[in-house]
Every structure is written in C-alpha cells, then in structure tokens.
Structure 1
Amino acid sequence: MSKKKGLSFEEKRNRMMEIFFETKDVFQLKDLEKIAPKEKGITLMSVKEVLQSLVDDALVDSDRIGTSNYFWAFPSKALHIRNQKLETLGSQLSEATERKQSVCQNIEKVNVGRQNTENRATLSKELEELRKEKIQLKAEVEKYQECDPEVVEEIRQLNKIARDAANRWTGSTQNISYSFSPEILTR
C-alpha cells in the first residue's frame, strides 16, 4: 500500500493558472474552492493560499465589486507579461555585455605597462624595501619625539599653567623664592 504524494506549491500554482486559462472566465473564491479540488487535485485548504500567491505575483487579477471578490487571468495578459520580462532581461543582458567589454578594455589598457620584466621586479623589490625603511624611521622619530624642542616648550608652558593653578588653589599670590645664605649651611 503506497501513500499518495501531494502536489508541490509550484505545481498547485501551475494547475490553478490552467483553470483560468482553460475557461477564460471570472471566478469568485467559492467557485475556485469547488473547481480546484475536483478538476486539478488542489486541496481545498490550500486554494486560498495558492490564489493569493498568484494575485501577489500579478499573475491573477482581482477586484472587489460590492461585497464579492472576483479573480481572473487571461492567456493574453500572461503572454504580454512574459514578453515585457523578456525585453527587460534582454536590455539588462545587453547592458551587462557592454559593461563587461568596457571593463575588459580598461584591464587591457592598465596592463600595457605592467609586463613582468626584470626591471619591474627590481623596482618592485626596491619599493618594498623603502616602505619597510619608512616604517622603521617613523618608529625612531616617535621614540625621540619627547626631545623635540617644540614638545619641550609645550611641556614648559603646561608646567607654568599648573604652577599658577596650584598657587591659586593654595592662596599664594606671590612667588616665594628661597635663598640660602652660606651661614645657614655651615651651622
């Protein structure tokens, strides 16, 4: 005893479209729910879902008249949609082909002076060595940056500002300088 395999969603969509194309008629949902299971083997529970997917993809037209929803699809519209899609894809293909040719031409232009010669290999190696040397020199400059006269002067200015701020906080308004006489040192 073998189990009967159900239809895939795409097969249900195709069979639903066959209903519209064969009859070339306008249907209500209740009509399709009666016809689809009998003639095309689409389960009653999935008729509405399949129909809605066809409406969403603009393969089936629908309109509300009064309190009823009507659905229809004619073969001429499907042919027209396919022809439009074919034209669109054809124009996209031609644009992509033109871009590809343009890119290939640009690649050829760029590669004109880039043949792998001995001179080019030597220059490339020299360039790499110079880049490494540049990185080493930058590291060395950063190491000695604290001895830079501009940096030293900036530190002096910051120290002066800090000393003035400390004097303001402690209430000292005058600079006190201590001088030692030689007598004090000998005692």
Structure 2
Amino acid sequence: MSKRKGVSADEKRTRLLELFREKQEFFQLKELEKIAPKEKGITVQSVKDVLQSLVDDDLVDSEKIGTSIYYWSYPNKSVNAKRRRTEGLAARLREGLHGLEEARAETQRAREGREPTEERAALLGEWAEVRARHEAAVRRLQEHDVDNPERFLAMRSQTQVAKEAVNRWTDNIFTMKSWCKNKFAIEESVLDTQFEIDPEMDYVD
C-alpha cells in the first residue's frame, strides 16, 4: 500500500490563500488552525508558518487589535501585490538602464582625445622613453646612495673586511719573499721582477 504523499509548501500557501478568498472574513490564528486542517488539508503545525509566509509576501493583511491579531485577504489583494512587485521591478530596470547610459557617456568622454593618431603614438613613445630613463636614474641613485645610514654602515663593514684581507695577503707575500731570500740567496729586486711584485707594495692603513 503506497504512502500518502505530503502537501508541498507552495500547495499549502495556495490552499490557505483560497480559504481567505472563499470566506472573505477576518480570522485569528487559532481559528485558522481549526478550519484549515478540515477544509484545506493543511496540518495544524504548519498553519502558522504558511500564514506568516503569505503575510511576508504581502498576500495576506494583518492587524493587531488589542491583544489579538486578525488576518484577511480579499480577491484583489494578489493582483495589487503583483502590480506593486511589477512596478518595483520596472523602477529598478529604469534605474539600471539610466546607470548604463551614464556609464556609456562616461566611457565616451574618457575616449575623447585618445584616438589612435600618429601624434598620440609618438607622444606615448616619448613618454615611455622618458619613464625608462627616469627608472634607470632612480636605480643608479639607489646604487650610490651613500647618504643612507644603513648602506653606509654596510659599506664601511665591507671595506674593513677587504682591508684585512689585503693586509693578510701582503703579509703572506712578505713572508714568502723573506723565506726565498734566505733559502736561495736571491735578491729581493729579482724576486719582485720574477713574480711581478710591485716594489712599492705595503700594508694598507
């Protein structure tokens, strides 16, 4: 035996709206919870949610009088709601079209004076060349930025390391010259000439 198919949310909305249109009366929630299950097959538990969805969509009116809330909907309610919705969409469409026209006009204004002429192409080429020269000058300036404290300290540190290395190798050369001179009895000037050593070579202060 097949199970009974439940009523969809849209069908419940349609049925409850039909109830209002057929009765054309004012109802409280408790009254609808009694009538809707019997006449329209809507479960008691779902009446409140279905009713609220119709109110939210402006298909059912509601008004609080004292401590009670009354609900009603007349046949022309749906027509009026659809008309208002259509008018709202039409207004949004007009606004969108107006914005589109403004954007097109702004684009056209931005294009004025930028037509692809030979003069404009020449000016753009000149601008690109000047910009390239400027960027190259900036790079050279950065390379020689001795006024930068951090760069100055780094250069001073590198200079000290280089000076120590020069003096170390100078000391090694002097040591080797002295050893050769004593070992083989060779004049220092001969060693300088043979090994292309600058006679004026000395330690760096």
Shift of 1:46: 0.8
Equivalent pairs: percent with the same residue?
44
- Change in Cα spacing, 1:9 to 1:123, as seen in structure 2 (3 Å) is farther
Q: Would you say the 8 A contact 2:60–2:77 is kept in 1?
A: no
**Residues 58 and 81 in structure 2, CA contact (< 8 A), matched pair in contact too:** no
- What residue in structure 2 maps to residue 9 of structure 1? 9
Contact 2:28–2:68 (Cα < 8 Å) also in 1: yes
CA-based RMSD of the aligned residues comes to 3.1
Kindly indicate whether structure 1 or structure 2 has the higher relative contact order, using CA contacts under 8 Å at least 6 residues apart: 1
SS at 2:71 equivalent? strand
- How far, CA to CA, are the matches of 2:7 and 2:123 in structure 1? 67
Q: 1:6 is matched by which residue type in structure 2?
A: G
Q: 1:80 — aligned with what?
A: 80
The alpha-carbon distance between structure 1 residues 134 and 82, as it changes in their structure 2 partners (threshold 3 A), is: same
In the alignment, which residue of structure 2 is the partner of 1:145?
A: 145
Stretches of structure 1 lacking an aligned partner (at least 5 in a row): 152-187
Residues 55-109 of structure 1, C-alpha deviations (whole Å, 9 max, x = no match): 3343322233444332112233333333233223223322322222232233234
Q: Distance in 2 between matches of 1:6 and 1:117?
A: 72
Q: TM-score, normalised by structure 1?
A: 0.61
- Structure 1's consecutive aligned runs of 4 or more residues displaced over 6 angstroms after TM superposition are none
Q: Could you list the runs of 5+ residues in structure 2 that have no partner in the other structure?
A: 150-205
**Correspondences of 1:20-39 after superposition (within 5 Å):** 20-39=20-39
Aligned to 1:71: 71
Length-normalised TM-score, structure 2: 0.56
Q: How does 1:1-187 map to 2 (within 5 A)?
A: 1-116=1-116, 120=120, 123-124=123-124, 127-147=127-147
Q: Secondary structure at the match of 1:45?
A: helix
- Residues paired across the two proteins, number: 149
Amino acid of the residue matched to residue 91 of structure 1? A
Which stretch has the larger CA shift, 32-41 or 46-55? Answer: 32-41
Does the C-alpha gap of structure 1 residues 35 and 126 become closer, same or farther in structure 2, counting only changes over 3 Å?
A: farther
Provide the rounded CA distance (Å) in 1 between the counterparts of 2:122 and 2:5.
70
CA distance in 2, matches of 1:134, 1:50: 71
Measured in 2, the distance between the counterparts of 1:124 and 1:85 equals 53
Partner SS for 1:105? helix
The structure having more radius of gyration, on CA atoms, is 2
